[in-house]
Amino acid sequence: MPEVEVVLSTPLAQFADGESKFRVPAGTFQEIIDKVYERHPTLRVRMEDNSGALLPFVSVYIGEDNIRDLGSLDVAVAPNSTVMIMSAVAGG
């Protein structure tokens, strides 16, 4: 089955048992993110609000394309693509 690589930023990887890179089956972004949540359920509350929308400080890139610019979470992700998921880090 074709797969995509998921890369998590360090702040998110801590909620994925330290796993920052892994592969899941290719499909739509929504299908991919559902597989990510199956693998690491604690990521859901770090990435989504109660309605299932991505939190404003979470950025997702499929290759070089920002998911927010693509207009839908149902966008197809080509096999062997990289899906990078990052969260903003605040500090002072």
Calculate the CA 6 to chain-centre distance: 7
pLDDT, residue 91, reads: 59
Q: Which residue did the predictor score with more confidence, 20 or 90?
A: 20
Query: The CATH number of 3-87 is which of 3.10.20.30, 3.40.50.300, 3.30.1490.390, 3.40.50.620?
Result: 3.10.20.30
SS3 37: helix
Q: Where are the domains of the chain?
A: 3-87
For residues 77 and 81, give the distance between their C-alpha atoms in angstroms, rounded to a whole number: 7
Residue 88 has pLDDT above 90, yes or no: no
SS3 69: helix
Residue 90 has pLDDT above 70, yes or no: no
* 50 burial via Cβ count (<10 Å: 0-12, 13-18, 19+): exposed
